[in-house]
Copies of this chain bind each other. A is one copy, B any other.
Amino acid sequence: MSDKSLLPILITMGDACGIGPEIIAKAFMAADADGCLVVGDVAVMRRAVRCVGSLAGVAQVQAPRDACTVPPRVMPVLEPAGLERGVGEATFGRIDARAARAAATCIDAAVRLCRGGDAAALVTAPIHKEAWHAAGIAFPGHTEMLQSLAADAGPLPPVRMMLANPELRTVLVTIHVALRQAIEMISSERVLETLQITHREALGRSGRSPRIAVAGLNPHAGEGGLFGDEEIRHIAPAIEAARAQGIDASGPYPPDTVFMRARHAVGHPGAFDVVVAMTHDHGLIPIKYLGVEQGVNVTLGLPFVRTSPDHGTAFDIAGTGRADPRSLVAAIRMARQLVAPA
């Protein structure tokens, strides 16, 4: 564990036509990315540095262990073998298959370094899904590619999305499906699997069992079956099974008050470490309510730590230097925390 915290955290550059490279440059400029190593294209990162100004420079390194040898405020960049050439000339804000392929190559290389024990964690700058589609990349997005790379030709590992900000963490049982379908997907197996993944991962390798609150699906968590029975049929049995396995899970709690109870703020210590939510919006409404700048996305269930900012490539402002790096910085901080918890 202490070894791991000395390894660099890898940041993949993302789509070179989006804001990824420039928010990475801003993070280095503000010393928020100390101890990080960019897996990317040197020309792309040089362009990003020019775009935001005032950073000392970019230093190409040959191996992760060399990242710590570069001077402060200099961004170490490792170029993976086989990287698509010429991406540093791709137009900002336009879909470009070369940029898509380069982004995928960087992710592939970064995962290999994490899995090989050469890096502590992975932070991914945004990719552009349409560009991936245009480039014929088989994965719809990061998560599916990471699952595949983690699978070693075996079955895909089950993963869950955790959203976190400094006040609240929430893990989602269902994500990008119609609400009707999300309800159909709720089973005690799926909820239990979420609790197991959350227990194993949410507080990282701290050794302390996270206090997991489970939100119900229905108003008032069903009020004893009066307003729906998913709590009785699926959620409560999953909590019971999880507790029998030593997982500190409780609930199901009424969705409208559990997030308030879990919120960690000055003078308001949260009653739980993480809330498991049944639907995308039950979890994301409270995460986003106070602002999206500090939101971080964490993929739980992979054999390495992976975080990402909670926004996309923002093609409309890419290359202007105006992009806000706060969510990326929060993602770096979260990765550090998950690798070596306080």
Q: Which residues of A contact B (CB under 8 A)?
A: 175-181, 183, 217-220, 222-223, 227-230, 255-257, 259-260, 263, 279-282, 284-292
A1 to B290, CA, bound (A): 36
A263 near B281 (CB under 8 angstroms)? no
A200 to B99, CA, bound (A): 52
Contacts of A259 in B (CB 8 A): 285, 288-289
A257 near B176 (CB under 8 angstroms)? no
Nearest B-chain residue to A268, judged by Cβ: B291
Q: Give the 6 A-B residue pairs with the shortest CB-CB distance, closest first.
A: A178-B228, A256-B284, A219-B280, A255-B281, A178-B227, A285-B285
B280 near A260 (CB under 8 angstroms)? no
Q: How far is the CB of A227 from chain B (nearest CB, A)?
A: 5
Nearest B-chain residue to A178, judged by Cβ: B228
Nearest B-chain residue to A228, judged by Cβ: B178
A221 to B301, CA, bound (A): 28
Contacts A260-B290, A289-B259, A289-B289 known; A227 to B284 CB distance under 8 Å?
no
> Known pairs A255-B284, A256-B284, A257-B292. 15 more at Cβ < 8 A?
A177-B227, A178-B219, A178-B228, A178-B229, A179-B228, A179-B230, A219-B281, A255-B285, A256-B281, A256-B287, A256-B288, A257-B288, A259-B288, A285-B286, A286-B286
* The residue from B218, B222, B223, B286 contacting A289, defined by CB atoms under 8 A apart: B286
A282 near B285 (CB under 8 angstroms)? yes
A291 near B178 (CB under 8 angstroms)? no
Contacts of A179 in B (CB 8 A): 179, 183, 217-219, 228, 230
Nearest B-chain residue to A254, judged by Cβ: B281
Q: How far is the CB of A35 from chain B (nearest CB, A)?
A: 32
Q: How far is the CB of A338 from chain B (nearest CB, A)?
A: 23
Q: How far is the CB of A141 from chain B (nearest CB, A)?
A: 14
Q: How far is the CB of A142 from chain B (nearest CB, A)?
A: 17
Contacts A175-B219, A219-B280, A219-B281 known; A228 to B289 CB distance under 8 Å?
no
Contacts of A222 in B (CB 8 A): 178
